Each structure stands twice: as C-alpha cells, then as structure tokens.
Amino acid sequence: MKTVADVMQLMKDEEVAYVDVRFTDPKGKLQHVTMDVDLVDEDFFEEGFMFDGSSIAGWKSIEQSDMKLILDPNSVYIDPFYAEKTLCVHCNVVEPDTGEAYSRDPRGTATKAEAYLKASGIGDTSYYGPEAEFFLFDDVRYSVTPQKVSFQLDAEAASWNTDAEFEGGNLGHRAPHKGGYFPVNPVDEAQDIRSEMLSTMKRMGIKVDKHHHEVATCQHELGMIFGGLVEQADNIQKYKYVIHNVAHAYGKTATFMPKPMKGDNGSGMHVNMSIWKDGKPLFAGDKYADLSQEALWFIGGILKHAKSLNALTNPSTNSYKRLIPGFEAPVLRAYSARNRSGAVRIPWTESPKAKRVEARFPDPAANPYLAFSALLMAGLDGIKNKIDPGPASDKDLYDLPPEELAAIPTVCGSLREALESLEADHDYLLAGDVFTKDQLDGYMALKWEEVYAYEHTPHPIEYVMYYSC
C-alpha cells in the first residue's frame, strides 16, 4: 500500500514534470488531464481535482456538472510513452458537495463491490485473471455516410495476403485461416511487438506471465497474473493503453473489437475468478472438479444471471457477432472442467490455491470495472441463494444431438436482448448499493443509443441479399 508521502517521494526521485490524472467513463474509455507537478502536493491528493462531468457521456447534466476526482496513491505509475517524465494516477469520482462516491463512476462501483464481499461474510478477497485478446492491423478504413457504409482492413501478415504484391517481394510466411495458434516466427510475425508490449506493462508495475499469437489471423494475447478486482480493472485499462500505443509506435493499429472481420475467430476476455476467506481458497473442495459447494453456487449465480450480465460483459452490438453458435466463443449456459465450449469452465490445476472458475463469454469491449463487479455480484447471489448450477456438461456442446442442444439455455443473441434482460433482472446488482438504479438507467440509456444507431443503418450484406428483390 502506497501513502501520499510515498508518491511525493517517488515524484522527487523520478524528477517527474507532470502528473496525469486518469479516470474511466461509463463506456470503459480511459480519460485524462495533465497537471504541472508544481500544483500536485499532499493537499492536492486530499482535496482532489474538479472537472466538468457534463462533458462525459452518461454522467451529469449541464446544470449540475461539477464533479471531483480523488486520486488513489496505490495506482501510480510512470507513463512509458510521454516525452516528459509523467506520473499517472487513477481516480475515483465523488460528489464535490458531500464527498460521497458518485454512483455512476465505474471505478467507484468496483471499490464498493470489494467492500460488499467483505461485508457479506462470504469472503474477504476476490481475485481476477482476465485474458483479453486483440487484433493488429496495418490499415483500417471505414465510412458511415448516407451513401456509403463500409469498412476495409489490411495487414501484411493477414492470411488473405498470400498472393499480394509487396515492395521487395512476398515472403509467404503466414498463419493460415484459423491457424494462428501457436506457430513460431516468421509465421508469428508479431513476436517482438508483443514482447515490447509485455515488458512495457512490467515496467508499469503489472505482474505479467506470457504472450502469444491467437487463433485468428492478426490476433494476439498477453497474459497478466491474477490480482484484486479494482487492481485488475486498472490493469486492463493499462493493458489496452500499452497495446494501442506500442502498436502505434510500430506503425500498426490495435483493436479490441470482439469481431472486427467476418469468418474468423473473435476476441474474448475470459475472466478467471476466485474468492478467499481468512487466507484460504473458498472455491477448493471435494465436489465436481475438486470445487467447493460455494464455488458451484457461484457458478449457478453466473449461469442464472448470464443474460443480464451480457449487457455489462458484452456491451457492444459487435459483441454478438462473436457470440454465435458453432465457434469457440461460448453461447450455451453450461459449465464443465476443461471443456471450452461452455459459458463457464473450471481450469485444471493441482493446487487448491489455484482453484478458480472461468467465465468465457465476456469480451474486451467491456468496461472492466463494471464487468468484474457484475460477475462478482452474480456469483455472490448464487452463494447467498444456493443456486444449483445443475449437472456439469462434459461433452462437446457443439456436437450434441439437436434435441439435447435445445434443452441448454443460451446467452443473449443481441445487445437489444441483453439490455432487455438487464432491465428485467438487476436486483442482484443493487445489493449493498454496489450498483444503483440510477447508474444502470444511465448506462442503459447510453447503450440504447448504440442499438438504435446500429439498427437504423443499412448493412452491405442487405444489398447482397435484398437489392434485387
């Protein structure tokens, strides 16, 4: 735990010139303002920084726009990309007149979720290990105008460029379609980029473990070691920041869109979760796959609330182009040990301390503070109400006979369905005032705007199917 005095000493030791004050908006985008170091003292940490909340989509209206950022000294790191030495610090948002947490602040929600776990008596610590995938391209173009709706992607390493003409020749080493998991270089063209991304994350204080090419062409993943809810949500924000900026430095562009192109695997963000109490792993036991009864109830809560969770864990219209049957992305609300075709998987491990459950349906478009908090609340609801997840599904769920497949419920098929599910099923999120009704209403209003924009725009495939009808 860092104190404000620790941060002051760090700023002196590192000869910091600026302090970058950062927070996350409801959609999950990191925002910032940069302060001259001479203005940042212990009083600044105590008093916070005022800003205009009406300029953040989904927050304050113009007549009540003043808001305050409170800096968290535990979150500081040196920015690796700025020319001037800059210390970054993540913030919670509070009401300036009362000092109370602003109900629509995502990081504040995650802070309350951790506190709710302790107050519940079920556990005192929760750990998260998110696995966010992404794509790297060389050229991205898109247009949404009355007369043109289109996008175009390209990358020299893409599987479709086996016969393309390049200056200096086409060297031909490319992973085939759906064949990117795990060939060495030169087929794996991004080894050095990913290594730089991972080492940059490590310099920023993130505990890292691995990196590799993923299944789809131009698709990649970096690994982080598990940590607490707020800590890992902060780390996902840093993860995205590093990947975007290192890619940019290499003349490439990174995206966390779940499904940026047709016909290949999409990007997920599998979330590994565990709860501990009094220094002991709550999820280790003698039930299925060496899980405890509490772990099975936790799974039951996630499966029960999966469709309303989708609004927070899969919050884009693009998310549901990944969540379709027949691909690795899980759409069936089932659980299993090692089987990757269900919504929840129990990874194999020999150590009780590593016993965890993995939600496989989330994707990296999610606001990590909201997604992790919602998963925890769903799981805790399962434990409190002893929700039975039913029998495990150890078969390949995509290879079941039609009559068996029809009996397994699914996650949502669209953002519209997810928002309707959240409207109908959200009481579990309101427990302990972790989420608030006002927060969920504001969030859903933002997401309904996205649904309407998507549904009101003609799609090129509609021209293929209907233009000559």
> Tens of pLDDT along 267-313?
999 999 999 999 999 999 999 999 999 999 999 999 999 999 999 99
CATH number for position 20: 3.10.20.70
Q: What 8-state DSSP symbol labels residue 56? A: S
pLDDT, the chain, mean: 95
424: how many CB neighbours lie within 10 A of its CB?
10
Q: What is the pTM of this model?
A: 0.97
Judge whether 416 is annotated as a binding position.
no
CA 373 to CA 435: how far, in whole Å?
Answer: 9
CA 427 – CA 448 distance, rounded (Å): 20
Query: Whole-angstrom Cα distance, residue 386 to residue 27?
Result: 32
Residue span of the structural domain in which 340 resides: 125-466
Chain segment 203-250, per-residue pLDDT in tens:
999 999 999 999 999 999 999 999 999 999 999 999 999 999 999 999
> DSSP string spanning 320-331?
GGTS-TTSSS--
* Structural domains counted in the chain: 2
- Residues 134 and 91 grouped into a single domain: no
pLDDT of 339 > 90? The answer is no
1 vs 467, more confident: 467
| Same domain as 89, residue 129 | no
Active site residues: 52, 131, 133, 214, 221, 270, 340, 358, 360
C-beta of residue 103 within 8 angstroms of C-beta of residue 92: no
| Joined tokens for residue 30 | 């990191």
Does residue 460 lie in a domain region? yes
Residue among 33, 6, 4, 1 nearest 20 (CA): 33
pLDDT digits (tens, 9 = 90+) for 21-77: 999 999 999 999 999 999 999 999 999 999 998 899 999 877 778 899 999 999 999
Q: What is the pLDDT of residues 150-196, one digit of tens each?
A: 999 999 999 999 999 999 999 999 999 988 999 999 999 999 999 99
Q: Is 221 annotated as a binding residue?
A: yes
Give domain status of residue 439, yes or no: yes
What pLDDT score was predicted for residue 328?
65
Do 253 and 311 share a domain, yes or no?
Answer: yes
> Which of left, alpha, beta for 351 (phi over 0: left; psi -120 to 50: alpha)?
beta
Tokens 């000092």, located at residue: 99
Give me the torsion for CA of 330, 334, 335, 336, rounded to 10°.
-80
360 is in an annotated binding site: yes
- Ligand-binding annotation for 328, yes or no, is yes
Q: Confirm whether residue 333 is marked as ligand binding.
A: no
Rounded Cα gap, residues 213 and 382, in angstroms: 36
End position of a domain, from candidates 70, 102, 134: 102
Q: Are residues 96 and 214 in the same domain?
A: no
Residue ending a domain, among 71, 102, 133, is 102
* 174 annotated to a ligand binding site: no
pLDDT at position 405, please? 81
353 has binding-site annotation? yes
Do 31 and 81 lie in one domain? The reply is yes
Count CA atoms within 13 Å of residue 380 on its CB side: 29
